Structure 1
Amino acid sequence: MISPATARLLPILLAGLAMLGPFTINIYMPSFAQMKAVFDVTDIELQITLSLYFAAFAFMSLWHGAISDSLGRRPVVIVGLVVFALASAGAAAATRIEQIYVCRVLQGVSAGAGIVIGRAVIRDLYEGAAAQRLYALVIMLFALAPAIGPIVGGWLQVHAGWRASFGFLAMFSTTLLVLVIAFLPETLPPSKRHLFSGHALLIGYRQVLANKPFVLWAMTFALMFAGFFIYVLSAPVFLMRHLGLAETDFIWLFGPATAGMMLGSFLAGRYATRFPTGFCIVTGFAIMGLGSLWNLTVSYLAPAAFGWYLPYLFIYTLGMTLIQPTITLLGLDCVPDRRGLGSSLQLFTQTAFNAVLSALIAPLFWHTPLMLATGAALALVLSLGGFALAWTLSVKRNTEFDESLKGRGSLATPIGIDGRIT
């Protein structure tokens, strides 16, 4: 159990840890033009700073949860913040693009600790609707980051240049480090920890990856998120080249998206226990589908009218975050004895796809607004297919489990049922 004061502070602290990721992605985007000139590089060479970050983030996300399952939650977060702060300071002092590459890898290695451990902490402390409400509250607070990051980055770029954004990341992570040391409780008691060894870890990964519903839920969210994130990765090209906006105008992309994420998260927490799980997920996909149709229409009829893109960004992210807590927790409930490792694999799936999205898919689709809208719509269609498979397989497992209960009698107690929808 935790104290009431810690319980009140916990959502803010977990949201702050989760904010490191989006801050690291978009706070320096308004500085792309100056960085291109300073380092004498192309758009693709600068885009590598994003791809390297995502690749490192994805790789290390496989380890954060597993290590925390063995050593506890606090040590992993503390070490991650120390590395991140040092890497950010190094990027601020860089004189060559290769130095930025190295620092971005180190940022990627460390930035995921907070969000991975945060999910596991929620599941350590809470169950059912209480966990869903807390996770929705964290997402609602975390949703501020995509809007705040580029606004702060644009202001810093105008007044202090590109180095200031990385300096801000160093200070922000140092502040979080102090708060974590002072207030984050250890939520995994020694009795529930797993032995850390290569063999045991391999067995754990094999068990989790063999769980088809878990894998499908993770893929569903990664593809669903890509329908919005392709615009984040293409933001400098989309906003400054196609729409003719300035470094301080990134709010036109991230503002409505943030509003949609905050409203969706609020509704997800408020109605966590009022509607069936399937109804909530289908509603979220329907909302995203309407947003995608609007986006395709606007990008075809008025590709340069930036104001008409605002409804899509708001509507799509509203539907996405409305069902994000449900999909995430359904995935973790598939592996109740390996939630730390499961959280790692969820984040790995999303971030590995983001790395591919950044390096290959976004540059392929960012040439025109219509191509971007098409890429986003394709991601949503694939996500819908993943959801249909995950749901069908989960319902099948529920049916098989219920039949096994009938065969054993009414005293049987369900424990750790993989893929079970409640």
Structure 2
Amino acid sequence: MNPDAQHLWRAPRWALAFLLACLGMLGPFSIDTYLPAFTGIAQSIGATPVQMQQTLSAYLFGFAVMNLFHGALSDSFGRRPVVLWGIAIFTLASAGCALSQHIGLLVFFRAVQGMSAGAGIVVSRAVIRDMFPPADAQRVMSQVTIYFGVAPAVAPMVGGFLFVNVGWHSIFWFLTFVGVVLWISNFRLLPETLHTTHKQPFNVRNLMRGYWELGSSPRFLMLALASGIPFNGMFLYVLSAPVFLGEHLHLSPGQFFWFFTLTISGIMGGAYVSGRLAGRIKPKHQIRHGFVIMIVVSLANLALNMLFPAQAWWALFPIAIFAFGWALMVPVVTLMVLDLVPERRGMASSFQACIGSLANGFVAGVISPLVMHSTVGLALASTLMMSIGVFSWLWVKPRVT
């Protein structure tokens, strides 16, 4: 923690949480906003479905790769410069997407978007731990999780509205506008939270040593898996929403909001309870409660889908309850990841985000297309991804304080 933290931010704590949450939302929001316009973009620029899929893969690949470096750079040059440069490049790339007239340019600018968007989520986590002691950091992380969890669900609705009413170019102009607002806000408000005595020397040998220490640490890897993989048990349904909601549950596009509303409510409720429990119960107990909720609801969801045809009146609730359990435990696990290497919190956040991003990309590109046409397949895949998180936590639990 920065010893001068109390002098760096004098506004209410929720205001800093909101600023950091907006940074964290930028990545997942820009992943999903343009998905409703896939077909329209393809027709407009003469792209095939496979080529359009490359625009998503390029973004996710760039996001995952650069997540390895955003935090490490912030450990050396400071949190503020990395955030400002990341937002600036994202804003220019968004404008490039809006102006693209053929698929090659769109793929390129989507890759640049992905490479820059991760700076917000990676650095914002490090800022929280720079500024607050453990219990307070958990409360702020929970507030950030509330906002962060909203992004993947709200983004398709915003993108669909813009596409239908203004056209696909407006989606990327909207992201450009978001980038401008975020840059101005952070330029004016975000303090430098990395204390000068905590800066790491910027050289290849030091970076490689840090990556090796993290990559060869079973405790770090298991904690990163415990926090990142279960998210995909819920994210899988978001990625598969058009098929899951339209074909399986027979909902019209105008009724899709029920799914997103319930899922968002679950995330917000879990994150709120997580913040309320901070300092009141042991972190390990809170993580256990979150995983127990996810285990029970995942098994119930799988059994129901195996026994009965999926119907909207019951099939949406298990996902919302799962989201509650995930949001209850993930702020605590994330702080444990950062505190494993307090001298390299930025790099730890980078590595954790990279693992999560690679998992998201694999689910989006491989798992979702394989299982989306079966409700049993979706429930089984969700349960298996949650199980990876459970086993990772059970392995690491006796080895963390």
| TM-score interval, smaller chain | over 0.9
> C-alpha distance in 1, partners of 2:261/2:53?
23
RMSD of the alignment, in Å? 1.9
Give the secondary-structure state (helix, strand or coil) at the position aligned to 1:337: helix
Equivalent residues in 2 for 1:304-315, closer than 5 Å: 305-315=311-321
1:50/1:239 CA distance change after superposition, 3 Å? farther
1:387/1:142 CA distance change after superposition, 3 Å? same
* 1:274-317 Cα deviation digits (max 9, x unpaired): 22222211211111122213332443355452342220221000
Q: CA deviation at 1:350?
A: 0.4
1:297/1:10 CA distance change after superposition, 3 Å? same
> C-alpha distance in 2, partners of 1:32/1:291?
33
1:115 maps to 121
2:62 maps to 56
> C-alpha distance in 1, partners of 2:281/2:197?
36
Letter in structure 1 aligned against 2:56: L
> C-alpha distance in 2, partners of 1:311/1:282?
21
> C-alpha distance in 2, partners of 1:237/1:100?
26
Q: CA deviation at 1:32?
A: 2.4
2:34 maps to 28
2:214 maps to 208
1:358 maps to 364
TM-score normalised by structure 1 residue count: 0.89
Q: CA deviation at 1:365?
A: 1.6
CA contact (8 A) 1:211 1:334 kept: no
Equivalent residues in 2 for 1:122-161, closer than 5 Å: 122-161=128-167
Q: 2:340 aligns with which of 334, 342, 346?
A: 334
Equivalent pairs counted in the alignment come to: 395
Q: CA deviation at 1:46?
A: 2.9
2:387 maps to 381
CA contact (8 A) 2:240 2:368 kept: yes
2:73 maps to 67
1:320 maps to 326
1:411 maps to none
* 1:154-184 Cα deviation digits (max 9, x unpaired): 2112211222211111101110000000000
Equivalent residues in 2 for 1:231-250, closer than 5 Å: 231-250=237-256
1:315/1:229 CA distance change after superposition, 3 Å? same
1:184 maps to 190
Q: 2:286 aligns with which of 276, 280, 289?
A: 280
Letter in structure 2 aligned against 1:376: S
Q: CA deviation at 1:128?
A: 1.2
* 1:339-379 Cα deviation digits (max 9, x unpaired): 11000000011001112222222212222222111111111
Structure 2 unpaired stretches of 5+: 1-6
Structure 1 residue 198 corresponds to structure 2 residue 208: no
1:283/1:44 CA distance change after superposition, 3 Å? farther
> C-alpha distance in 2, partners of 1:34/1:240?
19
Q: 1:222 aligns with which of 220, 228, 241?
A: 228
CA contact (8 A) 1:303 1:370 kept: no
CA contact (8 A) 1:23 1:169 kept: no
Letter in structure 2 aligned against 1:310: L
Percent identity, please. Answer: 40
Give the secondary-structure state (helix, strand or coil) at the position aligned to 1:47: helix
Q: CA deviation at 1:242?
A: 4.0
1:380/1:3 CA distance change after superposition, 3 Å? closer
TM-score normalised by structure 2 residue count: 0.93
Q: CA deviation at 1:136?
A: 0.6
Letter in structure 1 aligned against 2:152: P
Letter in structure 1 aligned against 2:169: R
Letter in structure 1 aligned against 2:244: F
1:253 maps to 259
> C-alpha distance in 2, partners of 1:22/1:105?
14
Q: 2:180 aligns with which of 164, 171, 174?
A: 174
Letter in structure 2 aligned against 1:210: S
Letter in structure 2 aligned against 1:330: M
Structure of higher CA gyration radius: 1
Letter in structure 2 aligned against 1:166: F
> C-alpha distance in 2, partners of 1:150/1:219?
27
> C-alpha distance in 1, partners of 2:79/2:10?
20
Q: CA deviation at 1:126?
A: 1.1
